[in-house]
Amino acid sequence: MAYIPHTDEDVRAMLEAIGARDIDDLFDEIPAGLRIGSLDGVPPALSEMEVSRLMSDRAGRDGRPLNFIGAGAYEHHIPAPVWAITTRGEIYSAYTPYQAEASQGTLQGIYEYQTMMASLTGMEVSNASLYDGASGLAEACLMAIRAHRRSKSSRILVPRALNPAYRRCTEAIAGTQDLRLEEVSYDPKSGCTPLDALRPWEGQDITAVVLQQPNFFGQLEDVDGITDWARAQGALVIAVVNPTSLALLRPPGEWGEKGVDIACGEGQPLGVPLSSGGPYFGFLTTRMEHVRQMPGRIVGRTVDLDGRSGFTLTLQAREQHIRRGKATSNICTNQGLLMTAATIYMALLGPAGLERVASACMARTTELVEALTRVRGVRRAFDGPRFHEAVLQLDRPVQPVLAALAERGIVGGHDLGRDYPELGHALLVCATETRTREDIACYAAALADTLGRVAAA
C-alpha cells in the first residue's frame, strides 16, 4: 500500500494556507446536482492491517495455477531489479516530458528504449510506444496508407493466421476510415500462409500486406517469400512480431531482399507481468523514409553549447502538438511506465540473456508438445517449425477439458473453437522458460486423467 504521511493537522494547515474550509471546497466547481450524497455500496473504513488482510485473502482466491496459455500475452521470469527500479518515485510518477529542460531523465529513458527496439527489430527508428500490440497494428495500417501515396485502394491483406484480437481491434479503429482488410487463408497442413494464397491479388492495387511472425498458431511463416512478393506488387509490408522471438529469428528489417516497412507488436513479454489483461504497451518501428508518418513522438539526442549530451522531443506529430487534422494519430500515447520496465529488462538481460530466454521457451514448448501428444486423444495440428506455441487437436470439445483442468489448478491453453471452427476441437498451448519438466509432466498426467473422465465427441 502507498504510505500517506499527512496527519489531520497537516491537512488542516494546508487548507488554511490556500483559504479553504475543508477538502470539499476543492471540488466546489462540481454542481450539487451531480454529487453523490453517499456511497451505499462502500463498506465502513478498515485499518491498514485489515485492508492488507482483506486484499491478501482476495488475491489468494485466484490461486497460483500452472499456466500453459499464451495467445498474445506471456508469462516470463522478470528479474527483481526491473520493477524495483521502475517503481522508484522519480520514475513511477514520470509520464509525459512536455518540458524537455526539466525532463532529461524521462527523455533519456525513452531514447534508450527507442534505440533498443530499433536494434531488436532491425529497423531505423522507433517511436516512444503505443497503447498495446493490437492498437499498434491499427496505427501501422493507417500509417501505411499515409506513407504509400501511390496506392489509392486502402486495401490491406491480412493473414487469417493473425491474432484475431489484433484483427478485431484494427477493424474497430481503422475500419471507419475507409480501410479495407482482406483475409488471406492459411495452409491446413502447415498452419502458415502459402504464397499460392496470395496469387489472386497479383497485379492489383494493394496498399500493404500484414505478416505475423510467429503467427497466432506459433508457426513460422515464409517471411522472405511473402515480403518479396509484396514488394513485387508495389505494396508496403507490415510485420507483427513477438520481441522475445527476435533474439533467435531474423528481425523484420532483414526479411526478403529489402526488409519490411513497418514492424509492430506487443511489448508485454519484455518485463511486464501478466496482470488481468494489462496495462501493456505496443511498439512500432519503421524505416527513416516513413518517419514523418509515424504516430506518437520520437526523442532525439544532441549536444548543448558546452558539448554535453542532451535529449529533446524531435518529432511530435500528435494532436496535442499540431493541428488535429494534421496529426498522424489522435489516440496514441507513450505507455511510459511499461516502456521503462521493458528498457530495464532488456538492459539487464542483454542480447545473450534474451537469446537464452527465447531458446528455453522453444525447448520447453517442444517438451510440452511431445508430452501431451503421447496422451491418447491428442495430436499435433500442424507440421513445420514453430516458436513457443503450438496447436493441438483433441478428440472431444475443448472447453469442458479446460474447465476440468482449471479445477486442478492448471490453465491448459486457449480454445480456438470460436475464431477457427474449421480446426475442430483445437487447443493453443504455450510454454515459456518459467515452466519446468515437472510442470509439463504434471499437465500431461492431469490431461490424461481428464480425458478419461470427460466424454469424447
pLDDT in tens, 236-247: 999 999 999 999
Q: Give 136: exposed, middle or buried? Use CB within 10 Å, 0-12, 13-18, 19+.
A: buried
Residue 19, domain member (yes or no): no
User: Which of 320, 345, 370 is where one domain is finished?
Assistant: 345
Give first-to-last CA distance, the chain, whole Å.
50
pLDDT band at 393 (very low <50, low <70, confident <90, very high): very high
> Can you tell me which residue has the cell 492448471?
410
pLDDT at 175: 86
Query: Does one domain contain both 386 and 449?
Result: yes
Residue 30, domain member (yes or no): no
pLDDT band at 102 (very low <50, low <70, confident <90, very high): low
Q: How does pLDDT run across 175-230, given as a tens digit for each residue?
A: 888 899 999 999 999 999 999 999 999 999 999 999 999 999 999 999 999 999 99
CA distance 108 to 115: 10
The three cell numbers of residue 450 are: 481428464
Tell me the backbone φ, ψ of residue 132, rounded to 5 degrees. -165, 180
Residue 434: which domain range? 66-77+350-453
Counted residue by residue, the chain has a size of 457
Query: Does one domain contain both 199 and 274?
Result: yes
Residue type, 338: L
Residue 176, domain member (yes or no): yes
Query: Does one domain contain both 145 and 259?
Result: yes
Query: Does one domain contain both 274 and 418?
Result: no
Residue 366, domain member (yes or no): yes
User: Which of 327, 345, 363 is where one domain is finished?
Assistant: 345
Residue 4, domain member (yes or no): no
How far apart, in Å, are the Cα atoms of 318 and each of 94, 146, 323? 19, 15, 8
Tell me the backbone φ, ψ of residue 263, rounded to 5 degrees. -125, 135
Domain tally, the chain: 2
Ranking 114-128, 147-161, 312-326, 417-431 by mean pLDDT, the lowest is 312-326
Residue 44, domain member (yes or no): no
Residue 25, domain member (yes or no): no
Residue 202, domain member (yes or no): yes
Query: Does one domain contain both 73 and 84?
Result: no
Query: Does one domain contain both 211 and 312?
Result: yes
Residue 205 near residue 230 (C-beta atoms within 8 A): no
Query: Does one domain contain both 71 and 92?
Result: no
Query: Does one domain contain both 367 and 331?
Result: no
Query: Does one domain contain both 84 and 172?
Result: yes
Query: Does one domain contain both 209 and 223?
Result: yes
User: Which of 294, 313, 345 is where one domain is finished?
Assistant: 345
Query: Does one domain contain both 357 and 257?
Result: no
Query: Does one domain contain both 251 and 355?
Result: no
CATH number reported for the structural domain that contains residue 416 in this entry:
3.90.1150.10
Q: How does pLDDT run across 286-306, given as a tens digit for each residue?
A: 999 999 999 888 899 999 889
Q: Name the average pLDDT for the chain.
A: 92
| More confident position, 124 or 6 | 124
pLDDT band at 38 (very low <50, low <70, confident <90, very high): confident
Residue 158 near residue 182 (C-beta atoms within 8 A): yes
pLDDT mean over 113-119: 97
